[in-house]
Structure 1
Amino acid sequence: MKIYKTALVCLMTCAVAFFGCSCSLLEDDSNESSVPVTTSEKSSTSVKTTSKPKPTEPCVYNEPKTDYAYSTLTDDYVKKLYNQISDNIDSEYEPSFYAEGNLSEYQMTQAVEAYKNDHPEVFWLKSYYEYENYDYETGIWLTYTMSGDKLVTAKKEFNTAVDTISKSVPYGTECEREEYIHNYIINNCDYDEEAAESEEVQGNENDAYGVFVDGKAVCEGYSKAFQILCNKADIDCIQLMGIVDSDNHVWNCVKIGGDWYQIDVTWDDVDDFIYDSHEYFNLTDSLMYEEHTLSPKYSEIDAESFLNLESWCNFYVPKCTAEKYNYHNYCYNYKYPTVSNLDDSDNVSTAIAKAAKNGEEYFVVIVDENVNYDDVYDEVRNGYMYDWLTKANQINSDSPKLNDTCNMLYDEKSNLITFQLEYIN
């Protein structure tokens, strides 16, 4: 993950804003295991001071909650500033305005970062800002990644891309929609290694525009794009901030079947993996925190502690303890058919037909652990594969049409047979 460090000379002090990476308080389900950490640099803002001027059942589509960060704010001045940002953010040029009260860097950073956390679609807003304290108010200068005609054009490109992708998400359960979005991002975005390793490369890698339009991004861009598409698909989703391998990192939490799960789309984008990786798909806290370290929440620190932090902070952090929709359990219990008797396996053709309708590249058959894996694999390769694919085409009336043969991947360790589906134009 790339972060930027910008230092400007200030008269009094330097305000810190975390450039780049970044559920309701009515329920006390915050993560009590949050661990404050220290890591690499954080960027700084300029300060001016003066004394004057369920998968087996159809899912009910509910409107997702998209103000999780805002719901954690307890300071009325911070809430007002958050709303002022919302009122001014559609300007084609970098806005400036006055906020009530003599605000501190800690307060302003919370407002800016909370807004960015809740609104990943506002790809042009930077974490970097400037402010000037007067007697009874504070002047705020927000900064953009682009402005004017360039921003107008970029918004159109961005909105078109998001609308197109959102319409491609197949109707199905929450987990099916979530997986489609996860796979879409991995298959259509490259991790920007150059930007991640050099501060000299500064583009759209930290925002969803990088994913949807440029096709390359770093972890923050991945997480924002995932959050946007999940919200479009009526799935609650938030971003989490933390440390991985001594670097700042951003990933997500999603609410599936009423429970929260952790997911890291960036870490599932593995180039040398034979098919889409789901190693970090819907994990519990305990599993994710084996390699990820969660940063503290704003509610856990005070203004003085904030100045000494070298990591980003979190807002809402749900507890993730459910295992039902962990990818392994999801596949074995809901997504893919289990075969124990090849003479009674018509359900496989039906499942392949559904996968083809969704345009999936891979399909998995689970071999019952009570039968001999090698025997089943050989029989599938020598006849059943052809039968299943042919029947799937009949079910779909050849729309789309699958080739009646395909590559099969052997995985005795997991009792899986993976088909690499081939489509005929």
Structure 2
Amino acid sequence: MVASAYAWVEAAVAFFPRLQQWQSAVRDALLEVGIGPNNGNTYEHMEGTKVGGSTFDEAGKRHTAADLLQHADSNNITVLLFANVHRILFAPPGSPPKASGVVFSDSSGVRHQAFLRQGPWSEVLVAAGAIGSPHLLMLSGVGDGASLRAHDIPVVLNLPGVGKGMADNPANAIYVPSPIPVETSLIQIVGITDFGGYIEAASGAQASLSQVVSLGTVAPGLRNEAVMLQYAEALKYLPHEIQRILGQAGVILQKVDGPASSGSLSLNEINIEDSPLVRFNYYSAPEDLFTCIETTRVVQQILNTEAMRNFTYTSFPDTIRRNAEMIGNFMPANLDVITLAEWCRNTVTTIWHYHGGCQVGSVVDKDYRVVGAAGLRVIDGSIFDSSPGTNPQATVMMLGRYMGLKIHQDRQ
């Protein structure tokens, strides 16, 4: 059923890109440094170099999970846009915890209550993501009892695992100015090493001027929303020559599998609109740092390959050198362990592959039912112990399809 669910998602929203000059060069460079075999176009996750699936079709149109709604039975589904669920409702106090509905606000901010139909099959399915799902459970009274009481939230179910095991795969972006124009591309090629490092590439102005690159130029301790907004605004006023250089540049991104490092999510305020406090503890596990160091060394080899010769400078023009700290992170000159460890920590960025917070065994069971509560499941990336593959999109969408079929099958 898992394989058929993957195939169903792939048929709906996945496409193989047509490689152009930059992506082709990175593919050849990966193979040149020994990240083989060449696995070609494949959705499978395996060591070597491959062209992965994309949610952009041949016309450049992006497809999302919303596209899957066209396959739904419109008589059985109602979609509310711009609605926020504030908390899950449970059966009256004194009875075992059982989800009975939700409190939500509509696009005008008006609050409503929606209740489940009476019956053994009625359930609330939470799919708010690795940050949203544990946050919603806590606001609904499901989580660590002491923490909930500290926020004056009535405890419905004492479940200390909610919000634990939060992780995000650490990533480091290396800016690669090119002497010749490159295409605009997002992640297409990926090199999967045998030690847990993934190497991916993007190119063109959309990639090199993105906040993924700019975020890494600001030390982690100094990053906040105001600083990043100022940085993004400053990029608009860069001299024309710098913008031209940025427009014909590539980015090589390394991502750590797993990761072994993890943190936690806790409440900040008691409103769903207020973001919770999240700490991922990037590179706190030595094995993650080792992976970054080794992957960065492989990237250095890639930049020195014959395949990349036309896309790299033997020495940077003065314009690039003068504006280096504004443009992005370059390959560190020294590749010793201490220097690379510091570089990995100082230039780490998110890759938005958040997971954990409602993990199997501590929060949900093998069928993703919340332990100790009836009529309540969590079905999203918060159940993962590690992020699947080089990008978890396919697995998250597969999970929705798979669980929909499984729940339907169980009801039959």
Q: Assess same fold via TM > 0.5.
A: no
TM-score (norm 1): 0.24
Name the TM-score, length of structure 2 as normaliser. Answer: 0.25
